[in-house]
Amino acid sequence: MTLSIQDSRFYKVAENVFSVSVCSGLSEDFFAQNMDNYEPFAVDEDDCLFSLTVVAGESVPAYTEETRQEEEGQRIVCGLTDAHESVFEYFNYDMYAGTMVCAKDYKSSTLFVPSGENSPLLKFAVNNALMVLYAIATSHCNTALFHAAVVKYQNRGYLFLGKSGTGKSTHARLWLKYNEGSELLNDDNPVVRFFENDGNGYAKVYGSPWSGKTPCYKNDSCDLGCFVLLSQAPFNKISRLLGVHAYVAILPCISGKRWERSIADGLHKTENLLASNVPVWHLDCLPDEAAAKLCLKTVTE
C-alpha cells in the first residue's frame, strides 16, 4: 500500500521522540483538531524512536484475535496478522474508532480510521494508538507509562497508584487543597524513566499528552519521590512496602504488551529497578485532609 503523506509532526515525551504523519483524505486541520494536547511536547527533532501514520478509508488487514481489554466503556482488541504484525482495534462504547497495525519491531505503525469520522472519535483513536505504541516501543528504554496520578511537591513527584475508582485523582486533589506548594503534574498517565548510573541510578517522572478526564498536559519533569498505593478504608494508615511487595504494588499500574516476551522482559527490568530503588508506600485512607497530611509527612521524611 502506497501512502501519500500530507503533513508530519514530531513530539518528545520523557526524552523519547516520535512522529505522527497524516495522509491525504484527512482534514488539513487534523493536528489542531485532534492533537492539541500534544502541542506542549512538539519538537523539531526527527531522530524518532517510532512513528505513526494515520490513514482514512483504507481496508484494514485481516487478523486473528489474541486477547482484549475492557475498562470504563473502552475496548481494545489485540491480535496478529498472517504476517505476524501486531494489531490493536479500538472501540469507545461499542463505537468503532480505528485499527492500528504495527511493524514487528514497533518502529513504524499505521492507524486505519473510517472516512468522514467525527473528530471526538478520531481523537480517541489517535490517543489510544499513541499510548499503546509509546508503552511498547519504550519498554526497552527503562521507561514505563503508568496509570496513576502524580503531584509535584518541592521539585519531587509523588505517584498515587491503585485500581480504577480507588481514589487516585481524589487524593491528588486533597494534596493540592491541603498541602501548600503542591501542583498537579499529570492526572492519569505519567511516564517514569529510570537512569542507570554506575549502580547509583535514579528515577524521574514526566508529564505526558495523556491525562484522562482532567486536562493536564505539562511538558515538565522532576525527580521521583515515591510511589503510594492507595486503598479505601475507614481509617488513615500508611506503611512501607519492601521487596516483592513493592514490585507487586507497581506491576499492575504499568502499561505494556506483557504476552510478548521481549516487551515483558523490558518491563520487568524497569519494574525491578523502580521497586528496588524508589520507596513504595501503602496508604489505607479516607478521602479527607488528614489522609493527605499524613501521606505528605510520612513520604517526605
Cα 130 versus chain centre, distance: 9
Confidence at residue 2, expressed as pLDDT on a 0 to 100 scale: 60
The answer to whether residues 159 and 278 belong to one domain is: yes
Confidence at residue 117, expressed as pLDDT on a 0 to 100 scale: 65
The answer to whether residues 292 and 234 belong to one domain is: yes
| Contact predicate 51/107, CB 8 Å | yes
The answer to whether residues 212 and 193 belong to one domain is: yes
Instruction: Give the total number of structural domains in the chain.
Output: 2
Q: Which of 80, 104, 137 lies at the terminal end of a domain, its last residue?
A: 137
Give mean pLDDT in consecutive 10-residue pieces for the chain, a chain of 301 residues. 81 97 87 95 93 93 94 92 96 94 96 81 95 97 96 98 90 97 96 88 96 91 98 97 97 94 95 96 97 98 87
The answer to whether residues 148 and 293 belong to one domain is: yes
pTM: 0.94
Domain hosting 274: range is 143-300
Confidence at residue 1, expressed as pLDDT on a 0 to 100 scale: 58
**Interior angle at CA 230, CA 226 and CA 232, nearest 5:** 160
Q: What is the CATH number of the domain that holds 259?
A: 3.40.50
Confidence at residue 213, expressed as pLDDT on a 0 to 100 scale: 82
The answer to whether residues 123 and 183 belong to one domain is: no
Q: What sign does the CA torsion over 89, 259, 159, 239 have?
A: positive
